[in-house]
Structure 1
Amino acid sequence: MSTFHPLRVTAVDRLTDDAVALTLAVPDELRPLYRYEPGQHIALRRSRTAGDAHAATTEVRRTYSLCDPAPPADGDAPATLRIGIRGVEGGDFSGYALKELAAGDSVDVLPPAGRFVLQPRPGRFAAVVGGSGITPVLSIASTLLAREPEARFCLLRSDRSTASTMFLEEVADLKDRYPGRFHLVTALSREETQSGLPTGRLDEKRLTGLLPSLLSVPDIDGWYLCGPLGLVEGAAGALRGLGVPRARIHQEIFHVTEAPRAETAGSRSPDADVRAATVTATLDGRSGHWPMDDGESVLETVLRHRSDAPFACKGGVCGTCRVRLVSGEVRMDRNYALEPEELTAGYVLACQSHPVTPAVEVDFDG
């Protein structure tokens, strides 16, 4: 089972007024553990005490995508990890990273995880990203182009303004390095430009008309959508309307704010939650069987007995708490992390799952 390890901060580079790139050193003995695929993310943890010295200490966890434009060679273990962090209003961790973290500090970090990845191979690929959604795609595109000479990549990125654009120089470097294989299109929602797309948001209607004018949509072997929920859902809707098969569309959501929407893993209604349910969980090869308190999620019940249960965002976005549903049925409040094929294979998010049968069994190791 993955556990947190303290990694030393070696650099905090200012990208924009509200974003930084954080570089973390990986000790020699931990390098194999932190080997990653381009597009994956890491979870960071800090302890925070509210109020005076006698107040309770709470734990804050957040996930951030690895964004090194020059990741280690295939199979090599990394000496450093680099992530991009954009400030979120009221954000406990992003505010800490932007205002307090400095070189020499230590941060607790989980090993890399995530399935928003692209194994380098010949073909044509494209991405639609918004804001900090560039972070995993920067690593994906740079690795693909460096390792596969027969690959091409088109990046359509949306930002508020040039000043708010993360990794501006790194993306420009890709354009200069691979002029015949990397195509960059920029859309700004709050700034007029002399070239590029007209100012405005990239919604489903606009993308439906725009994408076929930029590239041959049927010839794209994989689409990578990353950013705010509205952009990703709009892009996915546009692609489906243009006849792109679901298997070619890969997406990752950043920062969901709206109310949850219920999804049921099984046949029962969301109103059929069971109050006196029990959960059996296998974690790191050991199993436990516990009663659930009213309103608890599967993850909350497990954490009361096993503090080492993996989680990060608790918002149905990162997928860190993915488990295999062995038996029983659950209702998920929201799911922005699991692909349809994962749901079909029996996986659910423990942080969003509530029982709709008297007994539920999950496997964190499955």
Structure 2
Amino acid sequence: MFHTLRVREVERLTDDSVAITFAVPAELRETFRHTPGQHLTLRRTVDGEEIRRTYSICAPAAEPGADPVLRVGIRHVDGGAFSRYALKELAAGDTVDVMPPMGRFRLDPRPGRFAAVVGGSGITPVLSMAATLLAREPEARFCLIRSDRTVASTMFLDEVADLKDRFPDRLQVVTALSREERQSGLPSGRLDQERLGGLLPALLPVSEVDGWFLCGPLGLVTAAERALRGLGVDRRRVHQEIFHVAEAPVTGAGPAAPAPSHATLTATLGGRSGTWPVRDGESLLETVLRSRADAPYACKGGVCGTCRAFLVRGEVRMDRNFALEPEETDAGYVLACQSHPTTPTLELDFDR
């Protein structure tokens, strides 16, 4: 369900990115209380077409009883209808339709050692994680390895520096620049699998890290995941969120299962169920949206996980999946926006 929120502040971070802070009315404070790492889905309508985009919350999670701070980071994407609007037109006092926080790329504060590998705007949810964790857990430590093009293009540069000043003994920050030489720190260049495989053990005891958080472009996240696998890290300790995979290939392995000539979908959403025929070529999300405009979705690209649903009955083929952890797919969850029927009858539950 969307709520109309007023923009409190638009802050320029770099030439191509801004931070947007929303005012949260008293009656919605609990609705918009977030866990570090979660994101917001924003909506606007242009020429009759609805545009939805997800952006991670960068502000620390509020203490119980305190007012939540809703601040998201937005970087311009070539051809991005919403990001261009945010950078060029959105101003304090404007209103935006916003869905409550969601997402499973999250870190509930607890004692331990944690680490993140991020690229570009992937710093956004991790900034919330690190700030909340270090403030609430005096026994926690955090190592941040970030990759950016240049210093000038680095989002939240001051915020990370301030965090390092507040927690010098418990926060480790390492920055790699791909297009700019530095007088100190890592040599310039991309953080690929080979480089990360040598760098990570030199920075921290890899086997003692309780949780790894990978966030950013597909190439970096894939390289980091493979490097960690090569270092023997249990996959259950590795969590990832992908940004910008519009041209990514289909991830399904092996030949596609044949689609039935006729398929019927039953879906439960908000406590109500309905049954509809699946039209040729459409995703299960598209089937539901024809009758239920309140079906949850944002990116429609298999990235954000907003359309996650439990497959109660039947079988599907997913074109892409960059949002669900292996444990979730093993348990029966699918992305409705990427799912196509391979059996004549199917049942989805969006409420689980």
Q: Does TM, scored on the shorter chain, surpass 0.5?
A: yes
Cα distance in 2, alignment partners of residues 27 and 286 from structure 1: 29
Contact kept in structure 1, 2:33 and 2:61, CA below 8 Å = no
Tell me what 1:18 maps to: 16
Question: SS in structure 2 opposite 1:165?
Answer: coil
Tell me what 1:336 maps to: 322
Trace 1:254-293 onto structure 2 (pairs within 5 A).
254-263=243-252, 269-293=255-279
Match of 1:106 among 95, 99, 124: 95
Cα distance in 2, alignment partners of residues 83 and 76 from structure 1: 21
Contact kept in structure 2, 1:125 and 1:221, CA below 8 Å = yes
Letter in 1 for 2:266: T
Match of 2:150 among 149, 161, 174: 161
Trace 1:1-366 onto structure 2 (pairs within 5 A).
3-49=1-47, 57-68=48-59, 70-73=60-63, 75-76=64-65, 78-263=67-252, 269-366=255-352
Question: Over residues 209-264 of structure 1, what are the superposed CA-to-partner deviations in whole Å (9 max), with x where a residue is unaligned?
Answer: 11111111111111110000000010000000000001110111111132441438
Cα distance in 2, alignment partners of residues 43 and 162 from structure 1: 29
Contact kept in structure 1, 2:266 and 2:275, CA below 8 Å = yes
Give the 4+ runs in structure 1 shifted more than 2 A: 75-80, 257-260
Question: SS in structure 2 opposite 1:301?
Answer: helix
Question: Over residues 185-215 of structure 1, what are the superposed CA-to-partner deviations in whole Å (9 max), with x where a residue is unaligned?
Answer: 0000000000110000001111011111111
Contact kept in structure 2, 1:262 and 1:270, CA below 8 Å = no
Contact kept in structure 2, 1:34 and 1:78, CA below 8 Å = no
Segments of structure 1 that go 5 or more residues without pairing to the other structure are 50-56
Cα distance in 1, alignment partners of residues 69 and 5 from structure 2: 9
Cα distance in 1, alignment partners of residues 175 and 324 from structure 2: 29
Cα distance in 2, alignment partners of residues 259 and 329 from structure 1: 24
Percent identity of the aligned residues?
70
Question: SS in structure 1 opposite 2:101?
Answer: coil
Tell me what 1:53 maps to: none
> Could you tell me how far 1:79 is from its partner in structure 2?
4.2
Question: SS in structure 1 opposite 2:312?
Answer: strand
Letter in 1 for 2:297: F
> Could you tell me how far 1:77 is from its partner in structure 2?
5.7
Indicate how the Cα distance of structure 1 residues 273 and 40 shifts in structure 2: closer, same or farther if over 3 A, else same. same
Cα distance in 2, alignment partners of residues 127 and 80 from structure 1: 23
Letter in 2 for 1:103: A
Indicate how the Cα distance of structure 1 residues 138 and 259 shifts in structure 2: closer, same or farther if over 3 A, else same. closer
> Could you tell me how far 1:121 is from its partner in structure 2?
1.3
The alignment's C-alpha RMSD in Å is 1.2
Contact kept in structure 1, 2:257 and 2:317, CA below 8 Å = no
Indicate how the Cα distance of structure 1 residues 314 and 78 shifts in structure 2: closer, same or farther if over 3 A, else same. farther
Q: TM-score, normalised by structure 2?
A: 0.98
Indicate how the Cα distance of structure 1 residues 78 and 62 shifts in structure 2: closer, same or farther if over 3 A, else same. farther
Cα distance in 1, alignment partners of residues 261 and 85 from structure 2: 38
Letter in 1 for 2:302: G
Question: SS in structure 2 opposite 1:231?
Answer: helix
Cα distance in 2, alignment partners of residues 263 and 24 from structure 1: 38
Contact kept in structure 2, 1:154 and 1:182, CA below 8 Å = yes
Question: SS in structure 1 opposite 2:290?
Answer: helix
Cα distance in 2, alignment partners of residues 274 and 27 from structure 1: 49
Contact kept in structure 1, 2:210 and 2:237, CA below 8 Å = yes
Letter in 2 for 1:90: G
> Could you tell me how far 1:35 is from its partner in structure 2?
1.2
Cα distance in 2, alignment partners of residues 44 and 77 from structure 1: 24
Contact kept in structure 1, 2:62 and 2:69, CA below 8 Å = no
Cα distance in 1, alignment partners of residues 318 and 249 from structure 2: 9
Question: SS in structure 1 opposite 2:78?
Answer: coil
Contact kept in structure 2, 1:39 and 1:137, CA below 8 Å = yes
Segments of structure 2 that go 5 or more residues without pairing to the other structure are none
